[in-house]
């Protein structure tokens, strides 16, 4: 399966022009549009009321600080179409920047290619010349500012503060600095448009210190340490009355002393250059989430930007502050892609395909990464994804049809992979030897049986409703179970043609399981019907003939599906005890004959008694 989906990634560009539109439109039409569906964040809730905008601004500050700390020069980005125009329109313009972009442009599609995402060309603004567009080239940093919704005024203030921090902390890298603490000391009310905005900014930084050092610290707090309580008191007081942040201010010096004592703690008590203030769970993941969301085009929320490679390259510079690694990144990015697919109405199938491909990497990571925090986040993330997938797969007939089977394949893959990883992770966590069984086989078996049962009862209700609404005086109406048998047969052949070829990749006997389920569902209704029969009538005979035909259709599908199976399909056939319609008819005929004979005998006996009684009466009269 993984090979098949990876093949899809490599061939995406070739067939996208003629296939993607059809698939996306079909998917949108086939699957309910959950525009208001919001999945709970699996990373956990913060114990303080930091809004997304506050976290986003914090993420931007860390990003800018991390990029300045590494000393890298900002990249200049020009889109593919702009670069092509540049070569023809202005070959000498910004040659250095263009070369730099050309060197990175070869790799610019690596992430998209690996995830199976299509490339999207930027639209040319009406009336804009090629040379004008080249002149509008901006840095990757500027693009990130726009993507994250940070105003130019805020950006200018952040960069100004970081320059002051760099001057005051000469030679220190970003991982050696408690950024909110330094920002509090470097920025004054005069740096803000008004006092209210300054106070709101100060409260945000104080709440960040509270979240990172007290509520969600990387290292558990020592109950005997008085520093946490003193920090709480300072923060509580500062939230009520703005903190004086002058360099020589007593309250600021006290805050700095306590913050550094908490941030500089290590697991073994040794000295370390890395300070811990934003690397505790789930604060670090929530901040990182804000950064990863910048990978989506601000003008098209379902589209990943073309410069995603360069953006991720910069974002990874924050790992040292946030305590991230490649495995945590993969897990977070998986959630971001998947959640964006759901949150935007499930209309862009590429996002789900990308999430599925990244899930394959997470599967590899989970086998080697056994950190408790990672396992916890892994479990909650996969639980959310699996819950979404199984909601659809347990009733897949309601969500998929012949035009979007490719989407069904992806949803099954997502569900099966999530379940498989969770089973393996749990068995490792409790150091138990997992009972050997095929997770994919068991899950898909459950999906087939559940969805077919749901589809059967929906058909049954539809037939009942149709019968009720039809004219009661209409002649020659087919009996209810006769109509149901015809509809069930149609469903079985539809299942065989549309869904079984997809599901067979995880469950070789998918069609057999489907017809066995339908056989059982119809058999239960037929059994109740037969138990209430008093005598054979034309309607009853019609029902039994319809049941016999249905059974032949279902058995035929099961046998054809089991040709290559190890047991020749015996396990499936055992699930399909015969309806024995002929036997029922035979018994009813015998019963009918016996009833008629009994009635005839009764009639003859009664007449004989009447004749005897009449003869005796006549004799007495004589």
Q: Are 203 and 239 in contact (CB under 8 A)?
A: yes
Chain segment 274-325, per-residue pLDDT in tens:
899 999 999 999 999 999 999 999 999 999 999 999 999 999 999 999 999 9
Residue 288 is predicted with a pLDDT of 99
Whole-number average pLDDT of the chain: 83
Chain segment 508-517, per-residue pLDDT in tens:
999 999 999 9
Residue 593 is predicted with a pLDDT of 83
**Average of pLDDT values for 94-118?**
56
Residue 130 is predicted with a pLDDT of 52
Task: Give the least confident one: 34-43, 174-183, 353-362, 462-471.
Answer: 34-43
Chain segment 478-515, per-residue pLDDT in tens:
899 999 999 999 999 999 999 999 999 999 999 999 99
Q: Are 30 and 401 in contact (CB under 8 A)?
A: yes
**Average of pLDDT values for 4-15?**
45
> Between 118 and 149, whose confidence is greater?
149
- pTM equals 0.83
For 4, 16, 35, 330, 346, the CA distances from 9, given in Å and listed in that order, are 9, 11, 27, 18, 19
Task: Give the least confident one: 47-51, 156-160, 615-619.
Answer: 615-619
**With helix as H, strand as E and coil as C, how does 208-250 read?**
HHHHHHHHCCCCCCCCCCCHHHHHHHHHHHHHHCCCCCCCCCH
d(CA 556, CA 538): 27
DSSP 298-360: TT-TT-B-TTHHHHHHHHGGGHHHHT--HHHHHHHHHHHHHHHHHHTTS--HHHHHHHHHHHH
Residue 176 is predicted with a pLDDT of 93
Position 189 pLDDT exceeds 60: yes
Q: Count the helices and strands in the chain (H runs, E runs).
A: 27, 2
Residue 538 is predicted with a pLDDT of 86
Position 13 pLDDT exceeds 50: no
Query: Considering the chain, what percentage of its residues have pLDDT values greater than 90?
Result: 61
**Average of pLDDT values for 382-409?**
97
Which tokens is 198 given?
């300054």
Which pLDDT band, with edges at 50, 70 and 90, does 101 fall under?
very low
**Average of pLDDT values for 246-268?**
89
Count of residues in the chain? 622
Residue 331 is predicted with a pLDDT of 98
Residue 475 is predicted with a pLDDT of 55
Residue 471 is predicted with a pLDDT of 57
**Bridge pairing between strands 76-77 and 138-139:** antiparallel
Which tokens is 379 given?
């479990």
Break the chain into its structural domains and give their ranges: 1-30+325-436, 440-579, 590-622
Which pLDDT band, with edges at 50, 70 and 90, does 621 fall under?
low
d(CA 423, CA 421): 6
Position 533 pLDDT exceeds 90: no
**Average of pLDDT values for 586-606?**
82
**408 burial via Cβ count (<10 Å: 0-12, 13-18, 19+):** buried
Chain segment 519-529, per-residue pLDDT in tens:
999 999 999 99
Position 370 pLDDT exceeds 60: yes
Give, in degrees to the nearest 5, the angle at Cα 538 between 537 and 542.
Answer: 115
d(CA 441, CA 443): 6
Chain segment 50-78, per-residue pLDDT in tens:
999 999 999 999 999 999 876 544 433 34
> Between 613 and 137, whose confidence is greater?
613
Query: Considering the chain, what percentage of its residues have pLDDT values greater than 70?
Result: 80
Phi first, then psi, for residue 499 (nearest 5°) are: -95, -35
Which pLDDT band, with edges at 50, 70 and 90, does 141 fall under?
confident
Chain segment 17-45, per-residue pLDDT in tens:
333 333 433 344 344 444 457 899 999 99
Which pLDDT band, with edges at 50, 70 and 90, does 584 fall under?
confident
Position 450 pLDDT exceeds 90: yes
Which pLDDT band, with edges at 50, 70 and 90, does 425 fall under?
confident
Residue 104 is predicted with a pLDDT of 42
Residue 409 is predicted with a pLDDT of 97
Position 227 pLDDT exceeds 50: yes
Residue 68 is predicted with a pLDDT of 83
């Amino acid at each position: 399966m993984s090979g098949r989906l990876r093949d899809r990634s490599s061939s995406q560009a070739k067939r996208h022009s003629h296939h993607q539109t059809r698939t996306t439109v079909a998917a949108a039409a086939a699957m309910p549009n959950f525009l208001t569906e919001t999945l709970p964040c699996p990373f956990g809730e913060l114990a303080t009321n930091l809004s997304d905008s506050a976290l986003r601004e914090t993420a931007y500050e860390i990003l800018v600080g991390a990029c300045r700390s590494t000393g890298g020069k900002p990249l200049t980005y020009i889109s593919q179409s702009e670069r092509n125009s540049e070569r023809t329109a202005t070959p000498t313009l910004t040659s250095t920047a263009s070369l730099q972009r050309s060197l990175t442009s070869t790799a610019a599609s690596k992430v998209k290619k690996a995830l199976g995402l299509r490339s999207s060309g930027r639209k040319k603004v009406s009336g804009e010349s090629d040379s004008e567009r080249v002149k509008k080239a901006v840095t990757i940093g500027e693009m990130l500012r726009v993507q994250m919704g940070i105003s130019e005024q805020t950006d200018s203030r952040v960069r100004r503060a970081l320059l002051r921090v760099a001057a005051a902390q000469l030679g220190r890298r970003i991982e050696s600095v408690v950024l909110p603490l330094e920002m509090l000391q470097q920025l004054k009310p005069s740096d803000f448009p008004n006092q209210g905005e300054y106070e709101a900014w100060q409260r945000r930084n104080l709440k960040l210190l509270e979240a990172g050092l007290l509520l969600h610290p990387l290292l558990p707090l020592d109950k005997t340490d008085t520093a946490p309580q003193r920090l709480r008191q300072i923060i509580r007081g500062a939230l009520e009355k703005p903190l004086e942040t002058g360099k020589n201010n007593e309250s600021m010096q006290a805050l700095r002393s306590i913050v550094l004592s908490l941030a500089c703690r290590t697991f073994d008590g040794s000295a370390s250059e890395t300070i811990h203030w934003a690397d505790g769970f789930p604060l670090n993941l929530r901040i990182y989430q804000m950064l990863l969301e910048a990978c989506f085009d601000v003008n098209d929320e379902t589209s990943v930007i073309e410069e995603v490679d360069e953006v991720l390259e910069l974002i990874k510079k924050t790992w040292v502050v946030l305590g991230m690694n490649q495995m945590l990144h993969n897990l977070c990015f998986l959630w971001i892609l998947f959640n964006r697919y759901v949150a935007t109405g499930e209309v862009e199938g590429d996002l789900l395909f990308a999430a599925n491909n990244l899930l394959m990497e997470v599967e590899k990571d989970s086998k080697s990464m056994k950190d408790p925090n990672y396992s916890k986040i892994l479990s909650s993330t996969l639980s959310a994804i699996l819950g979404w997938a199984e909601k659809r797969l347990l009733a897949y007939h309601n969500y998929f049809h012949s035009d979007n089977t490719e989407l069904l394949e992806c949803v099954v893959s997502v569900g099966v992979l999530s379940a498989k990883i969770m089973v393996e992770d749990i068995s490792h966590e409790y150091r138990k030897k997992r009972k050997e069984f095929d997770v994919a086989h068991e899950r898909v078996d459950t999906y087939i049986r559940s969805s077919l049962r749901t589809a059967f009862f929906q058909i049954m209700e539809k037939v009942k409703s149709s019968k009720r609404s039809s004219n009661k005086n209409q002649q020659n109406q087919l009996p209810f179970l006769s109509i149901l048998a015809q509809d069930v047969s149609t469903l079985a052949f539809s299942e065989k043609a549309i869904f079984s070829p997809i599901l067979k990749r995880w469950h070789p006997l998918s069609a057999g399981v489907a017809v066995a389920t339908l056989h059982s569902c119809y058999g239960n209704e037929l059994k109740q019907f037969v138990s209430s029969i008093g005598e054979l009538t034309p309607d009853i005979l019609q029902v039994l003939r319809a049941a016999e035909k249905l059974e032949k259709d279902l058995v035929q599908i099961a046998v054809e599906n089991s040709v290559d199976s190890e047991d020749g399909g015996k396990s499936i056939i055992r699930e399909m005890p015969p309806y024995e319609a002929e036997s029922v008819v035979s018994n009813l005929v015998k019963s009918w004959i016996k009833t008629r004979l009994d009635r005839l005998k009764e009639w003859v006996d009664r007449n004989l008694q009447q004749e005897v009684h009449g003869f005796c009466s006549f004799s007495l009269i004589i």
